[in-house]
Chains A and B, each alone.
Chain A
Amino acid sequence: MSAPAVIDDRPRGSGGMDSGDLLRRLGTAGPRYLSYPTTEQLTADFSESDAAAALAQSNLSGCDLALYVHVPFCRHSCHHCACLRVTSTDTRHAEPYLSRLDREMVLTSRHLNATREITQLHWGGGTPTFLTLNQMGDLIDRLDARFGLSGSRQRDYSIKVDPRDTDVFTLRHLQALGFNRLNLAVLDLDSHVQQAINRHQPRVLTEQLVDEAHRLGFRSLGLELMFGLPGQTPDSLAETLTQVIAMAPARLSLAPYAHRPERFAAQRQIRREALPAPEQQQALFDRALTLLVEAGYVHIGLYDFARADDSLAIAQARGTLTRGPGGYSALPPCDALGLGVGALSRLGDSVSQNASTLADYEATLDAGRLPLARGRRLTAEARLRAHVIERLMCDMRLDLGALGPAFGLEAGRQLLPALARLHSAERDGLVTRHAQQLTVTPLGRVVVDRLAAAFDAHAA
């Protein structure tokens, strides 16, 4: 069956826009609504029994599970990094962490119905490919022993790959472990930009992995790029994108660099003067958007792009796209269990997050407790808001009048005040509104998280 046309009015950049809204948005990082409430709204009074209750409730629903595993190690220190990570060149440093992960799995699996299907698995970081091939194999074995991994063709098992410490043998090993999707961290192919972020990564490293992944039949390949990096110009980014498009990845992400040296020590290596000015940030994204759309990529939303024949674009056209802690997915809604330091979970009616420092994470587990730091149980109203935010971010449209069957007749009315908060976005051409129906314009797709914030009870 062929998918219907995804969007007719393909975005051609935001050149005509004089609002500062988009500019401001691109320059600052707000919540991307991988969960609602967002991690900022989680509170420390979420106890282990709350977590057990969430897992029990999740069991009752019987829905599929997505597992996320955070591997916080990197062999190299990139200046732009805002990830939770530890830099080391010794893979033995990962051993104590892997033991803690196993302990967390044991503690968690006690509360989990063992028959639930693990339809999604994602290893992020840091750099999961920091691990040795045997460490990766052990981790997969432990995940399988505790949760029972899936061999289904429909599964989505992905891993973030650093092309600098990955070769074709690693890819074949990953495939043997059951991974069927790869996310290659590329950032930028321009050597000056790479130098500015301390990430020497010749194009050929990425190309040979892309070629091998295609040969081996990995279901889908995603490349991660970034804009707003030091030294980037619209021309240099266009050159990078041209090379990337030639590699024909099924998915692409182009995330903005957020300079917060006060929070991320590595970023102090980047001088503010080296960064593109705010108006140039927008020029960068505009240029990128135009190139990607011309090359046949669909702008799914925010910073995510997919080829029109990729399952993400097809799911979006059908209205079945989902969004969770792992980002957009073409698979049906499921609960998400995060493992490892800082990992986010969405189980039953709760959202929770693990301790976000290695010391806290390890100490809690060593005391025999789940390494929870924060969480929140959703009220009926919060569930409604979570649903609305997810649908808006996935479908790029929303009908407040159609919420009745699931959430009660008053549901739409409850959210009417949110519509008022979208007036300026409407004026800026980011969203259109007919009665209780919202439609995100092509231009609005990149700031759909900001539009979603209108439905966030906690957003400023």
Chain B
Amino acid sequence: MPDTAIGRRRSLLNETRCQTCSLSSLCLPLALEVEDISQFDAIIRRRAPLKKGESLFRQDSPFTSVFAVRSGSLKQVTTEGSGDDQLTNFFLPSELVGLDGIDEERYPGRVVALETTTVCEIPFDRLDALSETLPELRGQLYRSMSKELRDDRRMMRLLSRKTADQRLASFFAGLSERFRRRGYSPYSFRLSMSRADIGNYLGLAVETVSRILGRFQTQGLVAVSGREVNILDLDALLELAEEEGAH
């Protein structure tokens, strides 16, 4: 292979294997035996990285695959009939994108990279076939779906009852937990999403998000500098996130 930029990227793509991927303990192959992982790995399509702002797929395009995020992050945006965009999810490394397209065979929202992002494409028909022979894979697929359902219901509770402070506290506590699960610091991370994105996701005006971030800093809960977040008092944040209703 010639030593060019494209060539290097190709070889990198080819080198990436589930067997060596640092996320395999969080991703679909989690429950698989070593010999089974290679079967799973064989159905994966590696793709060139998405640039910031590039779409992984469009809303209502035909459902063919689910995608595992390998690095970077994405947002899912659903355009309502009224033309308003509603941000319905953020995806971080090891998380699966596209599970909500299975039943209607189309993706219910477009998914856009928030930064340079790599994903592993898992064609669904092959995944489906493979999971018949690998019950552990099927189990992991169910667990992923169940978790997504649970997260959505939590989000519904949040959107229907919580105050702006509670929403933002929940959001940060949730991000912290997701980083912790991946072996990163739960206290210090970088937001790939803008405040407008966070506001849209949480049902808050961007002014409200900025104001509450300011308040959290005054209260010593977090320190925010640009998009760098330091969680200073995770317990207080969790407590606030779990509170019910207003004062």
A116→B3 CA distance, assembly (Å): 75
A176 interface residue (CB < 8 Å to B): yes
Known A151-B247, A173-B208, A176-B211; contact A216-B163, beta-carbon cutoff 8 A: yes
Known A133-B205, A133-B208, A137-B207; contact A172-B247, beta-carbon cutoff 8 A: no
State the Cβ distance, B87 to closest chain A Cβ, in Å: 14
A296→B12 CA distance, assembly (Å): 73
Q: Are A172 and B246 in contact (CB under 8 A)?
A: no
Q: Are A217 and B208 in contact (CB under 8 A)?
A: no
Q: Are A180 and B247 in contact (CB under 8 A)?
A: yes
The one of A132, A134, A153, A176 in contact with B164, judged by C-beta atoms closer than 8 angstroms, is: A176
A122-162 contacts to B, CB under 8 A, are: 132-134, 137, 151, 153
Q: Are B205 and A169 in contact (CB under 8 A)?
A: yes
Q: Are B205 and A175 in contact (CB under 8 A)?
A: no
State the Cβ distance, A46 to closest chain B Cβ, in Å: 38
- Residues of B near A218 (CB, < 8 A) are 246
A132→B203 CA distance, assembly (Å): 17
What are 29 A-B interface contacts by the 8 Å CB criterion? A133-B208, A134-B207, A137-B207, A137-B211, A151-B247, A169-B203, A169-B205, A170-B205, A172-B203, A172-B204, A172-B205, A172-B208, A173-B164, A173-B205, A173-B207, A173-B211, A175-B164, A175-B246, A176-B165, A176-B211, A180-B246, A180-B247, A215-B161, A216-B161, A216-B163, A216-B246, A217-B163, A217-B245, A217-B246
A151→B219 CA distance, assembly (Å): 14
State the Cβ distance, B83 to closest chain A Cβ, in Å: 15
A290-324 contacts to B, CB under 8 A, are: none
The range of chain A's interface size is 20 to 34
A169→B204 CA distance, assembly (Å): 5
A81 interface residue (CB < 8 Å to B): no
Which chain B residues have a beta carbon within 8 Å of chain A's beta carbons? 160-161, 163-165, 203-205, 207-208, 211-212, 245-247
- Residues of A near B203 (CB, < 8 A) are 168-169, 172
Q: Are A175 and B207 in contact (CB under 8 A)?
A: no
A137→B245 CA distance, assembly (Å): 21
A395→B245 CA distance, assembly (Å): 33
Interface string of A331-375 (1 = CB under 8 A from B): 000000000000000000000000000000000000000000000
Q: How many A-B residue pairs have CB under 8 A?
A: 50
Known A176-B163, A176-B165, A215-B161; contact A169-B208, beta-carbon cutoff 8 A: yes
Known A134-B207, A169-B203; contact A176-B212, beta-carbon cutoff 8 A: yes
- Residues of A near B163 (CB, < 8 A) are 172, 175-176, 216-217
Q: Are A217 and B211 in contact (CB under 8 A)?
A: no
A216→B166 CA distance, assembly (Å): 11
State the Cβ distance, A158 to closest chain B Cβ, in Å: 14
With contacts A172-B163, A172-B203, A173-B207 known, what are 12 further pairs, Cβ within 8 A?
A137-B211, A169-B208, A172-B164, A172-B204, A173-B204, A175-B164, A176-B211, A176-B212, A180-B247, A215-B161, A217-B161, A217-B246
State the Cβ distance, A179 to closest chain B Cβ, in Å: 10
- Among A153, A168, A215: residue with most chain B CB under 10 A: A215
A173→B160 CA distance, assembly (Å): 15
A85→B165 CA distance, assembly (Å): 33
Q: Are A153 and B247 in contact (CB under 8 A)?
A: yes
- Residues of A near B165 (CB, < 8 A) are 176
State the Cβ distance, B177 to closest chain A Cβ, in Å: 24
State the Cβ distance, A155 to closest chain B Cβ, in Å: 9
The one of A176, A180, A215 in contact with B208, judged by C-beta atoms closer than 8 angstroms, is: A176
Q: Are B207 and A133 in contact (CB under 8 A)?
A: yes
A15→B164 CA distance, assembly (Å): 49
A218→B246 CA distance, assembly (Å): 7
A169→B211 CA distance, assembly (Å): 13
Which residue of A is nearest B208, CB measured? A173
A151→B205 CA distance, assembly (Å): 22
Which residue of B is nearest A169, CB measured? B205
- Residues of B near A215 (CB, < 8 A) are 160-161
Which residue of A is nearest B206, CB measured? A133
- Residues of A near B204 (CB, < 8 A) are 169, 172-173
- Residues of A near B245 (CB, < 8 A) are 217
A10→B166 CA distance, assembly (Å): 43
- Residues of A near B246 (CB, < 8 A) are 175, 180, 216-219
A288→B246 CA distance, assembly (Å): 33
- Residues of B near A176 (CB, < 8 A) are 163-165, 208, 211-212
Which residue of A is nearest B199, CB measured? A169
State the Cβ distance, B161 to closest chain A Cβ, in Å: 6
- Residues of A near B247 (CB, < 8 A) are 151, 153, 180
A173→B247 CA distance, assembly (Å): 14
A232-289 contacts to B, CB under 8 A, are: none
Which residue of A is nearest B244, CB measured? A217
- Residues of B near A169 (CB, < 8 A) are 203-205, 208
Which residue of B is nearest A219, CB measured? B246
Which residue of B is nearest A151, CB measured? B247
Nearest 9 pairs between A and B by C-beta? Answer: A217-B246, A133-B207, A176-B164, A169-B205, A217-B245, A173-B208, A172-B164, A134-B207, A137-B211
A169→B160 CA distance, assembly (Å): 13
Which residue of A is nearest B247, CB measured? A153
State the Cβ distance, A129 to closest chain B Cβ, in Å: 13
State the Cβ distance, B133 to closest chain A Cβ, in Å: 48
State the Cβ distance, B28 to closest chain A Cβ, in Å: 37
A219→B245 CA distance, assembly (Å): 10
A306→B153 CA distance, assembly (Å): 36
